[in-house]
Amino acid sequence: MSRREDRAGSAGPASAAVASPSANPVLRGLRPVISLRRITKVYRMGDIEVTALTGVSLDVVGGELLAVMGASGSGKSTMMNILGCLDTPSSGRYLLDGVDVRRLDESVLARVRNRKIGFVFQSFNLIPRTSAVANVEMPLAYAGVSPKERRARAMFALEEVGLADRAHHLPSELSGGQQQRAAVARAIATNPSLVLADEPTGNLDSRSTHEIMDIFARLNDAGRTVVLITHEPEVAELTRRIVRLRDGSVLSDESTAGEHLHASNMGEDTRMGAV
Amino acid sequence: MSWLENIRIALRGLNANKLRSSLTVLGILIGVGAVIILVAVGTGSSQAVQNRIKALGTNTITVLGTGRFGRGPATTGTQSRAATLTAADVSLLQDKNEAPDVLTVSPVISTSVTATNGSATSTMTVTGTTPTYTGASDFQVQAGRNLTSADITQHARVAVVGQTLISDLFSPGSNPIGSVISLGSAQVQIIGVLATKGTTGANDPNAVAIIPYTTAEDRLTGYSASFSELIVQSQSAGDINAAESEVASVLAGANHTTVSALPFRFLNEGSLLSTSQSTNQTFTVLLGAVAAISLLVGGIGIMNIMLVTVTERTREIGIRKAIGAPKSAILGQFLTEAVILSLIGGVVGVIVGVVGSHFKIIGVQPVLSWQSIVEAFGVAVAVGVFFGFYPANRAASMRPIDALRYE
């Protein structure tokens, strides 16, 4: 996993609904972890059909740190749900590690979600009345890890996000930032290669945003592919590739050469609007 | 995800809604308890009736003579005569070749007399019979002795008397054995006292004096050469029907007629018992069925509460699925919760049922049957699985994205 390489290409302002060639690492010979091909998604609400995605094609190679931006209703959450195998596209192909997920049945998808993907939600989505460490253990339990090893790995994941000292607190006893850190620990507990985050900092203040983005940077440094949705330009600027969606299709796909996320770049004076 | 963890998760879920969980458990508890108690009441009343019938002697057949019930004489061709139960019939029936399943035959002449001892009087039944009568009629000689064959042949003026007669004619504490009392016009000496026997109906079975039938003919009824009834004992309770048909064919032969034309009535205690048994069984099944309906209602309660739980925890289901819970894990989690509810209800219901069955209910002492306990408990758990499956399956089949979006 060499994330240095994909910093090379610098994209101009893309105008087409197709990924700009220079930002597309596949064209540079790298095997994509995620490959979306003309994905569409149509929701049916009674008699009304709502088109969320009108044909998105996107490739993400291993080790990328990518931000998906777009206005509300642009289809970015729908795309994230499809990437996380939580939802299925209406048409088009989604290859995850070269495997077409449409051909996988429910139980295999569950295993894929468990082993390959770590999902972080805007609203943390920790299970209430269950301690932080128990929440982190949960995916390991579904993976069939023994209770003893589970606890050790969960504690390790909590240490990685700096929450080991609050491991036995209930979610209601944790601050928003701490809850999100526990959620990140849960996402990485099974050691997935792909971390998906749907507005992970959307409910956090600037300090917690800093902490969470710092963690994502370190995860990415360790070779994990991180895809995050955000509508905060300051957060997006810290990644190295920004995909913008509008009305269900890719508006632009550009590399952000200079300001790639690194812990040292996250000065205390960085103002990131706490929404 | 091991089943132990499923149980832990389920208990935590149930604990979060204590009142709701305990009300649901109550539904199953009442159902299981009701099944156990009502079946015990049914079994208890059935046993009470059977014990009363058994007091009559389960292996006896009573052959009733004609005169008593006013039956017409048997007609066989041109010859017409009243068929009666005679001493000859008794000796024929005692023949092991003719009636191998017959153990004893006791002829009975009975009449109602006033017994007197000094100034004390008592109205009672005098039964003229043979020594085997006490055994056949389930009487027990408490003190003194039973009649003997010698008493019969010697026309002895002796009597074995019941407790009612003792209490009516003698002051408490005095020993009646050896005393001479009057039975109507006959003077008899008391040689034995019978133990108290349970009542079977309006008649007091203890207001009785048993005397040799020869004495009865001599002193009370006059010699008529016929008996009012025969008490036939079969070798065992299982032989009773065979014994009855043997008796019938022997009597038919002796009276030159067919079994169907025989003018005697047969009261078979065994068939009486089995009739009452089947009646009581129906009664018990009916009671059990009513109780089972409440168990079913309890099951619907489980389903109802599990549907609410699944709806409430839709988001949790979504989260679990998003982090990789397979369908089977979600199914197991909610099914475990439902089964735990029914299991707790079943266990407490069994306790309530067992304790409740120790009290007399509407005059019946319930008799616990292990079968009903096991069945009620088993059905309760099955109800939990059955009614828990639909909600659990609903949870397991949710699409993760829909579950996550649920508000």
Residue type, B32: V
A125 and B CB contact within 8 Å: yes
- Per DSSP bridges, beta strands A117-120 and A194-198 are parallel
Inter-chain contact A186–B401, Cβ cutoff 8 Å? no
Contacting residues of A for B328, CB less than 8 Å apart? 107
- CA A130 to CA B323: how far, in whole Å? 15
Q: Is the per-residue pLDDT at B66 higher than 80?
A: no
A20 and B CB contact within 8 Å: no
> In the prediction, which pLDDT does B240 show?
81
Inter-chain contact B322–A84, Cβ cutoff 8 Å? yes
B80 bridge partner residues: B75
Rg (alpha carbons) of chain B, rounded to whole number: 34
A139 and B CB contact within 8 Å: yes
> In the prediction, which pLDDT does A25 show?
53
Question: Is A176 in contact with A207 (CB distance < 8 Å)?
Answer: no
CA distance B48 to chain A (A): 56
- Ranking A4-18, A78-92, B171-185, B202-216 by mean pLDDT, the lowest is A4-18
Contacting residues of A for B395, CB less than 8 Å apart? none
**Which whole-number Å values give the CA distances from B3 to B132, B336, B337, in the listed order?**
68, 8, 11
CA distance B317 to chain A (A): 9
* More confidently predicted of A98 and B55: A98
Phi, psi of A177 (to 5 degrees): -65, -40
Helix then strand then coil, in percent of chain A rounded to 5, is: 35, 25, 40
A151 and B CB contact within 8 Å: no
> In the prediction, which pLDDT does B349 show?
94
Q: Is the per-residue pLDDT at B311 higher than 90?
A: yes
Contacting residues of B for A137, CB less than 8 Å apart? none
Mind listing the pLDDT tens digit for each residue in B111-157? 888 888 888 888 888 889 999 888 888 788 888 889 888 888 888 89
Residue type, B394: R
> In the prediction, which pLDDT does B73 show?
45
- CA B265 to CA B267: how far, in whole Å? 7
Mind listing the pLDDT tens digit for each residue in A185-229? 999 999 999 999 999 998 888 888 988 999 999 999 998 999 999
Tell me what the mean pLDDT of segment A236-256 comes to: 88
Question: Is B160 in contact with B130 (CB distance < 8 Å)?
Answer: no
| Residue B252 CB neighbour total at 10 angstroms | 19
Question: Is B395 in contact with B334 (CB distance < 8 Å)?
Answer: yes
Contacting residues of B for A139, CB less than 8 Å apart? 323-324
Closest CA to A238 of A253, A208, A260: A260
- CA B73 to CA B52: how far, in whole Å? 34
Beta-carbon-side half-sphere exposure of residue B285 (alpha carbons within 13 Å): 6
Contacting residues of B for A143, CB less than 8 Å apart? 324
Length reported for chain B: 407
- CA B84 to CA B67: how far, in whole Å? 8
H/E stretch holding B289 reads helix B269-312
Torsion B25-B28-B30-B32 (CA) sign: negative
Task: Show the tokens assigned to A220.
Answer: 């990415």
Share of chain B above pLDDT 70, in %: 93
A253 bridge partner residues: A243
Inter-chain contact B322–A127, Cβ cutoff 8 Å? no
DSSP assignment of B315-349: HHHHHHHHTT--HHHHHHHHHHHHHHHHHHHHHHH
Closest CA to A60 of A92, A97, A93: A97
Task: Show the tokens assigned to A88.
Answer: 């299925």
> In the prediction, which pLDDT does A255 show?
85
Mind listing the pLDDT tens digit for each residue in B245-263? 888 888 888 877 777 777 7
Tell me what the mean pLDDT of segment A36-49 comes to: 89
**Residue in A with minimal Cα distance to B397:** A106
Inter-chain contact A129–B326, Cβ cutoff 8 Å? no
- CA A77 to CA A57: how far, in whole Å? 15
Tell me what the mean pLDDT of segment B264-286 comes to: 81
Contacting residues of B for A150, CB less than 8 Å apart? none
Q: Is the per-residue pLDDT at A94 higher than 80?
A: yes
Closest CA to B339 of B376, B371, B397, B299: B299
Inter-chain contact B326–A107, Cβ cutoff 8 Å? yes
Q: Is the per-residue pLDDT at A40 higher than 90?
A: yes
Inter-chain contact B322–A143, Cβ cutoff 8 Å? no
A124 and B CB contact within 8 Å: no
Tell me what the mean pLDDT of segment B102-106 comes to: 87
Q: Is the per-residue pLDDT at A261 higher than 50?
A: no
Phi, psi of B218 (to 5 degrees): -65, -50
Question: If you average pLDDT over every residue of chain A, what do you get?
Answer: 82
CA distance A88 to chain B (A): 9
- CA A124 to CA A212: how far, in whole Å? 12
A86 and B CB contact within 8 Å: yes
Question: Is B110 in contact with B183 (CB distance < 8 Å)?
Answer: no
Mind listing the pLDDT tens digit for each residue in A137-173? 999 999 989 989 999 999 999 998 999 999 999 999 9
Q: Could you tell me where the DSSP H helices lie in B56-191? A: 66-69, 87-93, 132-136, 149-153, 163-169
Tell me what the mean pLDDT of segment B390-402 comes to: 91
Phi, psi of B223 (to 5 degrees): -80, 115
Closest partner residue to B321 among A110, A126, A143, by Cβ? A110
CA distance B326 to chain A (A): 5
Inter-chain contact B323–A142, Cβ cutoff 8 Å? yes
Rg (alpha carbons) of chain A, rounded to whole number: 18
Under the banding of pLDDT at 50, 70 and 90, the label for residue A23 is low
Residue type, B170: F
Give the mutation candidate from A113, A198, A199 for the B interface (greatest B CB count, under 10 A). A113
- CA A238 to CA A265: how far, in whole Å? 8
H/E stretch holding B44 reads helix B18-55
Domains belonging to chain A, first-starting first, are 62-88+104-262 (3.40.50.300)
A115 and B CB contact within 8 Å: yes
A84 and B CB contact within 8 Å: yes
Closest CA to B2 of A151, A133, A145, A190: A145
Under the banding of pLDDT at 50, 70 and 90, the label for residue B346 is very high
From start to end of B169-228, where are the E strands?
180-183, 186-194, 208-212
- CA B96 to CA B239: how far, in whole Å? 14
> In the prediction, which pLDDT does B62 show?
86
Tell me what the mean pLDDT of segment B324-347 comes to: 92
- CA B313 to CA B307: how far, in whole Å? 10
